[in-house]
Amino acid sequence: MEYILSERVKTLKPSAIREIFKYAADPSYISLSAGNPSPEAFPSEAIAEISAKILSEDPISALQYSVTEGYPPLRRTVAQYMKDKYNVGNDNDDILITSGAQQVMDLLTKSVCNEGDTVICEAPSFIGSLNSFRSYNCRLCGVPVEEDGMNLQALENALKTEKNVRFIYIISNFQNPSGITTSLEKRKAIYQLALKYNTMILEDNPYGELRISGENVPCIKSLDTENIVVYAGSFSKVLSPGIRVGYAIAPKPVLQKMIVCKQGEDVHTNTWAQMVTNSFMTDYDFEAHLAGLREIYKKKADFCMELLDKYLVPAGITYHRIEGGLFIWCKLPEGSKLTMNEFCLKAVENKVCVVPGNAFLADEKEQSDSFRINFSTPTDEQLENGIKILGKLALEIL
């Protein structure tokens, strides 16, 4: 049989990162290409303890069907936490627990975008989200990211000229892959532009709690007096990605439709995972855990940046210093003999995996002169060996 596929999936390809992730599972390769939290960052013992308690005291609640909106105590806990700590959410918003933050991108796109509608995203941006938008046949319009966030002139041009822009997608803190944080001034300006052009903002903030230096910048959602921002939160980087728990805080009329779409997608998020998350936030010292994470990641990030200074900078590769998150964005020297793709291929031949920058662009066929390094997954030894190999390679062939 010749299978007929929908238009929306015809050109859809597996995420380059997920594919590299499989490939990089080969232990003879050094993978700097993943986005996994550091294994030492998981509160495994606490989770085992909580899980044992739930499954002995209240197994039926954990194992039975639940409501699509999410486990009610977790909804309350997260809503209160985000309100108290970040002023995120108001009376016109509501909260939905999702199967990872990835599902927020999916559900919002499904709820507000017709095929052919436009999503404005940062260039570069997170490939998983871009693929989610693509999977509804959205047109992606990339706006170049500068040191302090999107280029505002380019953003306004896009808002003016693109048809049916449904939302602006922003990873506001320690953006994946560029590592940059949008400044408060730009957050305000982007919010005003969204209002002016009558479009929504999807603020994705998986790394916000992982700041290792500098001052916290208020969320765009905390400025949202007009209820145009959908906030995507995640427990993947602060608790565990394998349990797939995220959430949306969004204006009620939009969230209502996202809930109906979630009913049709997976009915509800794994209840055990929601109960574990709630207990971890309420019965344990969540803030102390976050402080511990920041320490782990600060050590790793500082170490990685030292290595980059030592091995890559002398070879002409520059990078953007980060204040948090899991990724560092490295740029090949001007006038390189090799393109970035050729360099990444050479790196793989030398058993080091990094992600080529064009994977993060609205149009993957565009050129990029950068690649992404992750420092949270590899061991210190792998990190040092990997970056040393990249540096040697760069000196030899660029």
Quote the CA–CA distance of 101 and 257 in Å, as a whole number: 17
Does position 28 interact with a copy of itself (CB under 8 A)? The reply is: no
Closest CA to 325 of 180, 204, 174, 183: 174
Where in 270-329 is the site for a copy of itself (CB under 8 A)? 270-273
- Give the single-character DSSP code of 284: S
d(CA 196, CA 177): 28
Among 7, 84, 91, 215, binds a copy of itself (CB under 8 A): 7
Stretch of 18-26, 82-90, 169-177, 351-359 lying at the interface with a copy of itself (CB under 8 A): 18-26
Q: In terms of CB distance, is 178 or 236 closer to a copy of itself? A: 236
Q: Give yes or no for residue 241 binding a copy of itself (CB under 8 A).
A: yes
Q: Are 27 and 381 in contact (CB under 8 A)?
A: no
Q: Tell me which residues in 347-386 interact with a copy of itself (CB under 8 A).
A: none
Q: Which is nearer to a copy of itself, 243 or 393 (CB)?
A: 243
Instruction: Give the binding range for a copy of itself (CB under 8 A) out of 41-49, 182-190, 208-216, 281-289.
Output: 41-49
| H or E segment and range at residue 141 | strand 139-146
Q: Which member of 20, 34, 121, 248 binds a copy of itself (CB under 8 A)?
A: 34
2 Cβ neighbours under 8 A, 6+ residues apart: none
Pairing of strands 93-98, 246-251: antiparallel
Quote the Cα angle for 223-143-7, to 5°. Answer: 105
Tally of CA atoms within 13 A in the half-sphere of 355 that contains its CB? 31
Q: Which one of 33, 172, 181, 240 is in contact with a copy of itself (CB under 8 A)?
A: 240
State the nearest-atom distance from the C-beta of 18 to a copy of itself, in Å.
6
102 binds a copy of itself (CB under 8 A): yes
**Contacting residue, 161, 263, 367, 379, with a copy of itself by CB under 8 A:** 263
- Tell me which of 75, 186, 268, 372 binds a copy of itself, using CB under 8 A: 268
In what helix (H) or strand (E) does residue 118 lie, and over which residues does it extend?
strand 118-123
Binding residues for a copy of itself, total number by CB under 8 A: 87
Cβ distance to a copy of itself smaller for residue 240 or 358: 240
- Do 125 and 142 contact (CB within 8 A), yes or no? yes
Neighbours of 292 (CB within 10 A): 14
Pick from 23, 26, 85, 114 the residue near a copy of itself by CB under 8 A: 114
**Contact flag: residue 166 with a copy of itself (CB under 8 A):** yes
The answer to whether residue 27 forms part of the interface with a copy of itself (CB under 8 A) is no
- CA–centroid distance for 57 within its chain: 35
163 contacts a copy of itself (rule: CB under 8 A): no
At residue 143, the 3 state secondary structure works out as: strand
